[in-house]
Structure 1
Amino acid sequence: MLEKSVAGAAAVVRGVKPEQFGGPTPCQDWDVRTLTNHLLQVVSALSLAGRREAVQGELWAQDLMSSQGWADRFDEEGRAAVGAWADATAWDGTVTMGDMAMPSLMIASMLASDLAIHGWDLARATGQDYRCDDDVAELAHRFVADMGEQGRQMGIYAAPLSVADGGAVFDKALALSGRDPQWTHPAS
């Protein structure tokens, strides 16, 4: 599932054009550039965590978009992350994120879900298609369902929205995170 999450986000990151950087996204207060930078931070965190290296708070403050080749950097970090998590020992024990030790499985689930949800955000903001594999959609839904209230308390998620009965699992994950699955770019 990590490989699918990384690949889905990578395809969208590669499709972002610099002239789109100032555009709005479904992430309140984040433009396309900020969201793309965040996805680079997430895939870097996934790579670090897979190598059992601490994910320090400084990572989240870095501007990883400051040089050309940011899409290539995403691809490189994505390959490194998938490779790191391919080692069975990456799934054991804990990894430090910020100042908290968290179970490796929780970190992998959180970051894979983040790549999927923010990959969708970026696709919507830049007029691209995004397809979330069913197993990744299930993972994202489970993670947001389990951690949503804590995420809302931390300001990570907005209030949950409702979706029609029988809606797609990924739409339910988006709605639980406070996103409208029907969101479109205001210029559309």
Structure 2
Amino acid sequence: MDSTTPLPDPRPVYARATEQAAAVIAAVRPEQLAGPTPCREFDVRALLDHVVVVSLRLAAVGADGVPRAVDTATDGVPDDGWSAAYEEVRTRVIRAWESDERMAAPTRVPWGEMPGRAALSGFVMELVAHTWDLNEALGRPLVLDPELGEFALAAAHRALPEPERDPRRPFDAARPAPEGADANDRLAAWLGRRPLDRV
């Protein structure tokens, strides 16, 4: 898909991505919260916090197109409460982005201003990537949806077309994908991730 091809509607894809993320989050056991993830700056607990906080920001953006600072809203989440915390916020995000007007309206996100359709596609990429991170950290309890991986990979190629990355970007330079890698593993490699058993 090139820059002249209309973007597909990301709303149903985002809803599916939240269902997949919710399933992986539901697999987290309290004793795994301090474990490492492929996203080096986060252990499992910090990654869960990040996913919930980014979702809270996305709900705010969906409401009026303007981001709001949300440092953390998860300090009070008990060790066994992450699934419930994410379930509540993902419902808010889907509701905030349900209008067709939001898809076309100018939307400010951390990486610039763009139509809502492009902004939400970027958030699909981030959520699918972090779901891969979490699934890796837990020992791959789920087989991740390859169609979500393909959508997120296309969004990643649009957002990050060059394999080398400026240090200010939140993703490392792209890595070669393992032979036979599926779409989710190719997404992870393009975003500079490597599986924990290869670190």
- After TM superposition, the score normalised by the length of structure 2 is 0.80
SS in 2 for 1:152: coil
Partner of 1:70: 82
Q: Which moved more, 1:78-87 or 1:136-145?
A: 78-87
Q: 1:119 to 1:101 in 2, by over 3 A?
A: same
Q: 4+ runs of 1 displaced by more than 6 Å?
A: none
CA distance in 2, matches of 1:76, 1:126: 22
Q: Structure 1 vs Structure 2: percent identity of aligned residues?
A: 26
Partner of 2:193: 179
Task: Tell me if 1:41 matches 2:53.
Answer: yes
Q: 1:26 to 1:142 in 2, by over 3 A?
A: same
Partner of 1:50: 62
Greater fraction of residues in helix: 1
CA distance in 2, matches of 1:143, 1:151: 17
Please tell me whether the aligned partners of residues 38 and 133 of structure 2 are also in contact (alpha carbons under 8 angstroms).
Answer: yes
Task: Tell me if 1:163 matches 2:173.
Answer: no
- After TM superposition, the score normalised by the length of structure 1 is 0.84
Structure 2 counterpart of 1:183, one-letter code: L
Report how far residue 73 of structure 1 moved.
Answer: 2.0
CA distance in 2, matches of 1:36, 1:20: 12
Structure 2 counterpart of 1:160, one-letter code: A
RMSD: 2.5
CA distance in 2, matches of 1:78, 1:185: 32
Please tell me whether the aligned partners of residues 37 and 64 of structure 1 are also in contact (alpha carbons under 8 angstroms).
Answer: yes
Please tell me whether the aligned partners of residues 122 and 159 of structure 2 are also in contact (alpha carbons under 8 angstroms).
Answer: no
Q: Which moved more, 1:27-36 or 1:140-149?
A: 140-149
Structure 1 gaps of 5+ residues are: none
Structure 2 gaps of 5+ residues are: 1-12
CA distance in 2, matches of 1:41, 1:152: 25
Please give the residue correspondences for 1:1-188 in structure 2 after superposition, counting only pairs within 5 Å.
1-56=13-68, 58-59=69-70, 61-68=71-78, 69-98=81-110, 100-148=112-160, 149=162, 152-153=165-166, 154-164=168-178, 167-180=181-194, 182-184=195-197
